Structure 1
């Protein structure tokens, strides 16, 4: 187990979320489910309390802490993609499993976690700066899911 992990607060579905992420993203897996030894304010003895998992190589803990805290876009996973097919696969998995689209390559899964599904061509264009970055940025702004061909065309000018 990794010494450092990101803790994600879930109402009660940390195990389902972790299993979903493991089914969608490479280098992802559920490492352990720890059950409550006794009743607690938002659950019963035997309920999944803490789930150890890895998402795209990032060690995480899912805590089933009840409805007190909600996720916001202030935290998101950014997944770099190589092409439109990979972008579509991740986007469609998240949105098609009860999630929702947002803007500029962002979407949210059904548990409220935000994801940036970001083709490398966009990241590289932004890093290039100048007119290339400006054209790519302006092409991206009206998008929900990133259209790789449109970004590539913007990069070419």
Structure 2
């Protein structure tokens, strides 16, 4: 059992968001759905849902309009290949999501994500400060991270 679970507050889109995320990540599934009971104004709509994304548990709540997502918290995805970066970037920005700088994006529900190839931290932590600096400068100019460009600037 996972000790800490990310809990996401939505304004009526909890089920749509859950299903969207489960469709994007491998090894993902809906775990449980609790709906508002009969007689409630929101009867039949999702109250709370629990789901796994690549083995990590999340919960989604339809809590109403009083709280919105901000970039102050984001979900980071570690990617091994450019294909993975492209997949997550495309799927998470589809339908109204917005690309941001330096590998960050906001999905159509307002949740912020970082799509990070495993090469990026390795290159940024290189003992050669000039190389790390070139990589940082290149990354700062990117939206979606492009591994080949980072490797090229790292090489000089």
Please confirm whether the aligned pair reaches a TM-score higher than 0.5, indicating the same fold.
yes
| TM-score for the superposition, normalised by structure 2 | 0.91
Show the counterpart of 2:146: 147
In structure 1, how many angstroms separate the alpha carbons of the residues matched to 2:130 and 2:8?
38
Write out per-residue CA displacement over residues 10-50 of structure 1, whole angstroms, 9 at most, x where no aligned residue: 0111111111111111232211111112666xx51221000
Number of residue pairs the alignment of both structures matches: 155
**Pairing 1:44-55 to 2, within 5 Å after superposition:** 44-55=42-53
Note if contact 2:98-2:108 (Cα within 8 Å) is conserved in structure 1.
Answer: yes
Deviation digits for residues 75-114 of structure 1 (CA, Å, limit 9, x no counterpart): 1111111221111111011112321111100111100001
Is 1:12 matched up with 2:12? yes
**Shift in alpha-carbon separation, 1:47–1:91, aligned structure 2, 3 A:** same
Q: Which residue of 2 aligns with 1:85?
A: 83
The answer for the alignment partner of 1:98 in structure 2 is: 96
Question: What is the match of residue 134 of structure 2?
Answer: 135
> Which runs of no fewer than 5 residues in structure 1 stay unpaired?
none
In the alignment, structure 1 residue 113 sits paired with structure 2 residue 111? yes
Residues 56 and 128 of structure 1, relative CA distance in 2, 3 Å threshold: farther
C-alpha contact 1:18 1:29 (8 A) present in aligned 2: no
Aligned mates of 2:72, 2:28 — CA distance in 1: 22
71, 74, 96: which one aligns with 2:72:
74
Q: Flag structure 2 segments of 5+ consecutive residues without an equivalent.
A: none
What TM-score, normalized to structure 1?
0.90
